[in-house]
Structure 1
Amino acid sequence: MKQEKKWSIVSLASIPLVKTLGNSMLIPVLPTIEKKLNISSFQVSMIITLYSIVAIILIPIAGYLSDRIGRKKVIIPSLIIAGVGGIISGWAAWKMKDPYWLILVGRIFQGVGAAGAAPVVMPLVGDLFKSEKEVSKELGVIETSNTFGKVLSPILGSLLAGLVWFLPFFAIPVFTLISVLLMIFLVESPKKKKKPVPFKKFLKQIKKIFKKSGRWLYAIFAIGCILMFVLFGVLFYLSSMLEDQHGIDGIKKGLILAIPLASLCLASYFTGKKIKENKVLMKWITVSGIALLAISVFAISFTENIYFLLGIFFICGVGIGVALPCLDSLITEGVEKEERGTITSIYSSMRFIGVAAGPPVFVLLMKASHQVMYYSITGLCMVAGLIALKEIKPKKAK
């Protein structure tokens, strides 16, 4: 690989890292924000939820625009918007007596920025490399960066909030500025060989893709949503259990939460290097990863021993970690470049739905009973595995 492309991947990998830090970094800080602002648990949860809802709605639009006007022309302004959102929320928390509503405005800006930046990275990687082997490898790096952000988030969020409770808001524009500079100077967009087709013709092409390849595309959308739903639900459950049952909080809790995320990160990296362009291998690694996840979730029901549970959560991370790069590669390599941004953005939107739904649904299941939660999530994982087994039959959509 040429040196320029190596720096391009480093630059692109910074974007999912920034996106993940911008949201997940605040999760361990939410109880502190609730106390400082004297607001309810529901109100503080909106700091995360609004971000996700805005991103879910706008991601497909960003994908479409990236197909029409170019990837960098969407990514760079989006990163700037996300940075502005961090400044708004941080300034409100620092200077205002009643900052809650302006903090939400800032979070909406961040959601807009996240929608336009992170989901466009996957199709841009597909544009930069001709070989499917290279695409799979570099998408593994991108997924690893995403998961590394999740590993770093609870630790960094706890550290910054320990200094000044609103400091995590101000960290976001710093991270986005670094990504903007990297994108401007180190990433060169591939030249478009074809002029963008008219909107009506574009819609017909998208409909044609879904008509011909809809089954495996819908399967990947559903599996991506389920995996992120289980991941964030399990993290929420682990966070609650550590604090309520074992009295562990602060930095120590952040370090423990990083364990399953670290296994996810490592699994994503090595899987991305292994799968190359082998789509059959991608399918079976995905099925195996989901099976491992289902078995792990079921095993949680047998004991509350903290060391056993941490081992199980580590295995959960591996199961999700091996599946995600395979899904990324299947969908990126299975769609032509002209529609790639739109299709992959829908996939990213589905993953955001899983992120947003995981914690509140786990709360409801935990209120019913922990056994209901274990068996329900195990069943959902089995459904995802069956979908992968039966429906993933990727072909180049034309």
Structure 2
Amino acid sequence: MVHKIGDQTGKLSVKSRGKVKHPAIIDQLIACGVQTVVIERTKQVTKETIQALNNRKHALSKKTLNITRNQPVNAAFELSDDAPQNSISVIPSSRAEEFQFAEQLVIDCKDLYNLHKLRAEKSLSIDITQALDIVNDVYASLIRDPNALLCVSMVRTKGDYFANHAMHVSILLCYFALQLGMSESDCKRLSIVGYLYDIGMVKIPHEITHKLDRPTIDDLVTIQSHVQHSLDLTAPLAMDNEQRLAIEQHHERLDGTGYPYGLEGEQIHKYARMLAIVDCYDAMTSNRPFQKKRSPASALRIICNKDFGYDQKLALKFVRSLGIYPVGCLVALSNKKIALVTETNRAKPLKPKVKVFFSTASMQAITAQYIDLNDETDDIVIVKPIIAEHYGIKLAEIDLG
């Protein structure tokens, strides 16, 4: 538990105490000039803590946090050149464990992206070794039980928009590729693209990216330059031509109305057409300074409207892969309850499995209950998709266990 900052060359302060759960946070502290921190030692190490630490498989192979029992409370972070030789790799063996794994993976993904943002802002090089480790875990989790990671990534969106966006697009693009029958290698190549394709947004002035009003024409011209910034920042990385085309062309549209080149139809690489769909879907289902989020169902309807220039064949496949009510979205039921979709039903997309947790009659949380809407003995149906904020529901507080 980090209590406060000790010696440092910068002016960083700790507003509230918190646990350091991932080496990427340590890198962030070091990058900000932190040399020592004051820690509060916990009374015991729980099974959950051990699992959370092991889930990442010691992604930092050359930078590990060493705090021994005999160290004083005012302890420095010591960086060792040698990674643990006998690290334990925990593979989830139950759905509950898969959700725990997914929770930690989402945290790790966002923490690491924030580190990359910090380095990119300072024009420092980006090392994607850790990101590739995360992509491996994303792919493995989606293979084991896609519902867990899709649900967690949809619900756990507290924090910076760009970190959330990178995390979710990386996961969704990997899942989309899986559903299209692509190889493991291609799924992972697309996942790392989804993670870094928008990194150039760090070069766009803060007053534009966080503007409360809709962007002006001049703002849009500046925003469009993020594509080239992303290409420049990822140029030193080991990314192939197809990956770079996906980054370069993800704002192109089949009708020629996109940018930066106004390409049409098959001139646009398939990876870019896939990324355009996922990028748009996540942007529309997220809160942004100038735009409130839409429900997933509403976003999918827009993507499937040919007037918006998305590849309609791919768009329909994307909708089929997620379902009409995607995992992680909230729905209002005919029994005046609100539920979280936990598993789609390919055969009957209007009847997924859900977790009921809120009453619209009392406008408060209720004892959670899992329901399979396909159960013929129950006549409960989905009335409509809903937005959590409209009912005062805090997504971060929804129990996914």
What TM-score does the superposition give when structure 1 sets the normalisation length? 0.30
Higher RCO, Cα 8 Å, sep 6+: 1
Give the number of the structure whose residues are more often helix, by fraction. Answer: 1
- Kindly name which structure, 1 or 2, has the bigger radius of gyration based on alpha carbons: 2
Q: TM-score, normalised by structure 2?
A: 0.29
Higher strand residue share: 2
